[in-house]
Homo-oligomer: A and B are copies of this chain.
Amino acid sequence: MAEKKIPLNREQLEALTERFPTPFHIYDEKAIRENAQRLKAAFAWNPGFKEYFAVKAAPNPYLMKILKAEGFGADCSSLPELMLAESIGLSGEEIILSANDMPANELVKATELGAIINLDDISHIEYLEQCAGLPEAISIRYNPGPLKSGNTIIGHPEEAKYGFTREQLFEGYRILRDKGVKRFGLHTMVASNELDGSYFVETAHILFDLVAELSTELGVKVEFINIGGGIGIPYKPEEQAVDLTFVGEGIRELYEEKIEKAGLAPLDLNMECGRMITGPYGWLVSRVLHEKNTYKQFVGLDACMTNLMRPALYGAYHHITVSGKEDASCDFVCDVTGSLCENNDKFAIDRAIPKVDIGDLVVIHDAGAHGHAMGFNYNAKLRSAELLLREDGEVVQIRRAETVEDYFATLDFKGLQSFES
């Protein structure tokens, strides 16, 4: 079993809380960089390999700037995410807009930035043409439907709202080709949080075959394929991380056979991972406010769903340790709860942890992706700060905590005074 560790001991965390009150998210720069380098190494055989970090996972420009320094681009799903990419100096084809049901202003902005647009539906060709014009290079998202089974998280592809069918895909490229588009990409993503590496090899296989067919049938030369994100992380200690070398080598073998031998090289390989890039290297740190013993044992934290939605939203497992009690035996079974008046607001149910004391610092692991990003303000709870442990050991704040003023920002209290009720 992999041991899950935050790279700060209790003393260091306690010292941090004097500057930054709990709860907060903290990310580990060194681990994120090393992980980014591992991903690049696994695909170093492909000179055009590029990872577009899925901004939605951790939409913090400081983290994005670190990832840019590692050579990553940005996979954006909305206008503000495009603006974040712009804010760190990404431009042109370092950015991809890949979303669903996109409004015109996102397409216009992506076009201005020269970003790759990943079309989600055949009707979007005309929509894009009308609102922003067709670019020189464009990508299409493929949904294999019943031809491929999705994983348990993303469900059956044919139920998913994303992408073109096979017939639409060929029709789409034909239309784009005839309209003068010069360069083409092909994208799919049919899994989320998948730990079986062969899944990604299989995804590349599907796309390589399509690249060959598109070349033969339409004379369309696909320049880049994007096998999506979806690489899972071992949330549970007994789970194994995806072996990136296995995935990289598996895809390399297929590439040699399906692409190089067929004279279709070079073909750039792209990914849009989010979770596996920052997920394991971010922690939610929270303090035990209350212990409660009724029909069950409860440990009440000063964090809640606002800081991390996944357990309540998906029933997701997040590992929990108690700072300074890493070696204590886990013989205290309890529900670890947040402070929201919402019955779902529990970080863990019937979890065995070390016996905690009020005031203990609790560490919730694997909160570095889809953690802070998904927080809401239900119950008027405020979203917490994000900190970064730099490579030199310094801790800097990369997002301040919300204030009551932030929460009230969209309300006109002056108007309220004269509002007749």
A residues lining the B interface (CB < 8 Å): 55-56, 59-62, 65-66, 68-69, 77-81, 83-84, 87-88, 98-103, 121, 123-124, 127, 143, 145-146, 153-155, 157-161, 163-165, 168, 192, 289-292, 294-296, 298, 300-302, 309, 312-313, 335, 337-341, 343, 345-346, 373-383, 385, 399-402, 404, 406-413, 416, 419, 421
Contacts and interface: CB of A to CB of B under 8 A. Distances in A.
Contact of A103 (B65, B302, B346, B416): B302
Contacts of A407: 80
A263 to B, nearest CB: 32
22 contacts: A55-B380, A61-B411, A61-B416, A68-B421, A77-B380, A87-B413, A100-B337, A100-B340, A101-B289, A101-B337, A101-B339, A102-B339, A103-B289, A103-B302, A123-B292, A158-B294, A161-B343, A163-B294, A168-B294, A400-B410, A401-B410, A402-B410
Contact of A101 (B143, B165, B300, B376): B300
A152 to B, nearest CB: 11
Nearest to A78: B380
Given A65-B416, A346-B161, A406-B410, A143 B379 contact: no
A338 B290 contact: no
Contact of A290 (B80, B127, B146): B127
B158 A295 contact: yes
Given A99-B339, A374-B376, A83 B404 contact: yes
A164 B313 contact: no
Contact of A100 (B78, B341, B375, B383): B341
A407 B59 CA distance: 11
Contact of A62 (B158, B160, B419): B419
Contacts of A88: 416
A182 to B, nearest CB: 26
A100 to B, nearest CB: 6
Which 3 pairs between the two chains have the least Cβ-Cβ distance? A101-B300, A158-B295, A80-B380
A13 to B, nearest CB: 19
Contact of A382 (B80, B98, B157): B80
Contact of A81 (B163, B380, B402): B380
A345 B99 CA distance: 12
Contacts of A335: 161
A68 to B, nearest CB: 7
Contact of A123 (B78, B168, B290, B338): B290
